[in-house]
Amino acid sequence: MSVTPQPLQRGSHPSLRAAIYDALREDIMTGRLPPGKTIGVKDVQREFRVGLSAVREALCQLTADGLVIAEEQRGFRATPVSATDLIDVTRARVEIETFALRDAIAHGDVEWEAQLLADGHKLAQIRGGEGQNPRVISNAYRQQHAAFHDALVSASSSDWMKRFRRTLHAHSERYRQLAVWYNDEPRNVTLEHKGIMEAALARDADRAAELMAEHINATARILLRLGVAESDA
């Protein structure tokens, strides 16, 4: 006997469009919607039992965020990954993230230090895997990981740099999931985060920036070595 899909609930979201956006974004980030996968508007409508207009609005927002591409006469699909895009995102993120980190170290106060310590401690305590699959990054870990990186640069005096950094961080998340999925070599990410945090708190901007660049570049090196993002389709 088939089970009738339940309507997607708005919950705490400000609108149904926002709820659809978050649900689809989660599927893209976790790989349930793989890179390049076609996203049918009517398929989403049937799955969530919502109106077509809300689905289209959510997909248009995901397109604006770069997570979905819209193709004339062909609809939508999850943005493909490629070596070219991976290298570009990584290079841009290193430049902006290290700039914002240096600026935050220069301007950070006691409250900044306290928040960074708190978010760093929380991140270290969260299990990275989702349920029985350690190769799928859990939503709780992903959210706290973003909070930790936000905290690192929160004292920066440049709001624009922080906005750009957050956008690039979101785009790099899909690549990070792929790296976790396919990498078989040990990598102590917890230790990497700890090193960056300690350098920042010690006000050693050069060391913190060096460790941050290495932390970001490591994911790209893994994927390029494995050939996971080699297609530029």
In a shared domain, residues 196 and 88: yes
Query: What is the tally of structural domains in the chain?
Result: 2
In a shared domain, residues 215 and 126: yes
Residue 226, judged by CB atoms within 10 A of its CB (0-12, 13-18, 19+), counts as middle
pLDDT at 1 over 50: no
Confidence (pLDDT) at 10: 56
Residue 53 in any domain: the answer is: yes
In a shared domain, residues 170 and 200: yes
Percentage, residues of the chain above pLDDT 70: 89
Confidence (pLDDT) at 161: 95
Residue 132 in any domain: the answer is: yes
Residue 33's H or E segment, with its range, is none
Which CATH number belongs to the domain containing residue 69 in this structure? 1.10.10.10
Confidence (pLDDT) at 4: 47
pLDDT at 229 over 80: no
In a shared domain, residues 147 and 214: yes
In a shared domain, residues 71 and 108: no
Tell me what the mean pLDDT of segment 193-220 comes to. 97
In a shared domain, residues 50 and 143: no
Full domain range(s) for residue 65: 16-78
Confidence (pLDDT) at 171: 83
Alpha helices in 108-184 (DSSP H): 110-125, 139-153, 159-182
Residues 158-205 pLDDT 10s: 999 999 999 899 888 888 888 887 787 778 999 999 999 999 999 999
Percentage, residues of the chain above pLDDT 90: 53
Spatial strand order in the sheet of 68-71: 38-39, 75-78, 68-71
pLDDT at 132 over 60: no
Residue 233 in any domain: the answer is: no
Which CATH number belongs to the domain containing residue 191 in this structure? 1.20.120.530
In a shared domain, residues 72 and 88: no
Residue 153 in any domain: the answer is: yes
Domain boundary among 29, 63, 78: 78
Domain boundary among 36, 52, 78: 78
In a shared domain, residues 73 and 140: no
Domain boundary among 78, 95, 130: 78
Confidence (pLDDT) at 160: 95
In a shared domain, residues 92 and 182: yes
Residue 39 in any domain: the answer is: yes
Collect contacts of 208-214 with beta carbons under 8 A, ≥24 apart: 208/101, 208/102, 208/105, 209/98, 209/101, 209/102, 212/94, 212/97, 212/98, 212/101, 212/152, 213/94, 213/98
pLDDT band at 34 (very low <50, low <70, confident <90, very high): confident
Q: Compute φ and ψ for 69, nearest 5 degrees.
A: -115, 145
pLDDT band at 32 (very low <50, low <70, confident <90, very high): confident
Residue 5 in any domain: the answer is: no
Q: pTM for the full model?
A: 0.79
Residue 123 in any domain: the answer is: yes
In a shared domain, residues 144 and 52: no
In a shared domain, residues 219 and 126: yes
Confidence (pLDDT) at 157: 97
Residues 54-83 pLDDT 10s: 899 999 999 988 889 998 777 899 988 899
In a shared domain, residues 112 and 192: yes
